[in-house]
Amino acid sequence: MIPDGIELRKVSPLLQCSVIPQMAQPTDLVLREVDSAADEIVDFAAELIRIPTVNPPGEFYADCAQAIGARLQDFDFDVEYLAATSRPEHTKAYPRINVLGRRLGRVARPLLHLNGHFDVVPPGGGWTVDPFKGVVRDGRLYGRGSADMKAGLAAAIYAVEAVRRAGVGLQGTVEVSGTVDEESGGLAGVAWLAERGRLNATLTDFVIIPEPFGVDRICLGHRGVYWFDVVTYGRTAHGSMPFLGESAIVSMSRVLDAIRDELAPALLGRVTAMPVVPEGARRPTININGVSGGQADTSQPTPCVADRCTATFDRRFLLEENIKDVRKEMISLLERVAADEPGLKYDLSDRLIVEPVQTSKNSPLVTELQAAVGEVSGRSAQLVASPGTYDHKHVARLARVKQCVAYGPGNLEIAHQPDEWCAIDDLVQTTKVIALTIVRLIG
Q: Is the pLDDT of residue 176 over 90?
A: yes
pLDDT average, residue stretch 25-50: 97
Indicate the range of 137-151, 185-199, 299-313 predicted with least confidence: 299-313
Reply yes or no on whether the pLDDT at 3 is more than 60.
Answer: no
Which CATH code for domain 26-222+356-442?
Answer: 3.40.630.10
Q: What letter does residue 235 receive in the DSSP assignment?
A: B
- Report the pLDDT value the prediction gives residue 196, as an integer from 0 to 100: 96
d(CA 109, CA 207): 13
Compute the distance between CA of residue 362 and CA of residue 358 in angstroms, rounded to an integer.
12
Q: Rounded mean pLDDT of 295-317?
A: 87
Q: From 3.40.50.10490, 3.30.70.360, 3.40.50.2300, 3.40.640.10, which CATH number describes the 224-270+279-354 domain?
A: 3.30.70.360
Chain centroid to CA 358 = 14
Proportion of the chain above pLDDT 70, given as a percent: 94
Q: Letter for the amino acid at 363? A: S
According to DSSP, residue 167 is labeled T
Percent of the chain with pLDDT over 90: 88
pLDDT tier at 9, thresholds 50, 70, 90: very low
String of DSSP letters for 72-136: HHHTT-EEEEEE-TTSTT--SSS--EEEEEEE--SSS-SEEEEEEE--B----S--SS-TTS--E
Q: What is the average per-residue pLDDT within 298-316?
A: 89
**DSSP letter string over 10-53?**
PPPHHHHHHTSPPPPPHHHHHHHHHHHTHHHHHHHHHHHHTS--
Provide the residue ranges of all domains of the chain, joining segments of one domain with +: 26-222+356-442, 224-270+279-354
266-295: average pLDDT = 95
Express each pLDDT in 66-108 by its tens digit: 999 999 999 999 999 999 999 999 999 999 999 999 999 999 9
Q: Are 434 and 44 in contact (CB under 8 A)?
A: no
Give the sheet arrangement for strand 224-233, strand by strand: 285-293, 308-317, 224-233, 345-354
CA distance 442 to 17: 32
pLDDT at 8 over 50: no
Strands 140-142 and 136-137: antiparallel
Mean of per-residue pLDDT scores for the chain: 93
Select the more confidently predicted residue: 67 or 240: 67
What is the per-residue pLDDT for 23? Answer: 57
Q: How confident is the model at residue 22 (pLDDT cuts 50, 70, 90)?
A: low
- The 10 Å CB-count burial string (b at 16+, else e) for 63-76 is ebbbbbbebbeebe
Residues 6+ apart with CB under 8 A from 92: none
What is the predicted pLDDT for the residue at 35?
98
Query: What 3-state class would DSSP assign to 172?
Result: coil
298 pLDDT band (50/70/90 cuts)?
A: low
Residue 219, pLDDT score: 98
Query: What pLDDT, on the 0 to 100 scale, is given for residue 343?
Result: 81
pLDDT at residue number 300? 72
pLDDT, residue 101, reads: 98
Q: What is the mean pLDDT of residues 116-126?
A: 97
Q: Rounded to an integer, what distance in angstroms lies between the CA atom of residue 111 and that of residue 107?
A: 9
In the Cβ-directed half-sphere of 87, how many Cα atoms lie within 13 Å?
A: 23
Q: Who's near 7: CB < 8 A, 6+ residues apart? A: none
Task: Supply the angle between the helices 424-442 and 151-165 in degrees, to the nearest 10.
Answer: 50
**Residue 114 burial by CB count (10 A; 0-12/13-18/19+): exposed, middle or buried?**
buried
pLDDT in tens, 412-426: 889 999 999 999 999
Q: Do domains 26-222+356-442 and 224-270+279-354 have the same CATH topology?
A: no
Is the four-CA dihedral 400, 287, 269, 333 of positive or negative sign? negative
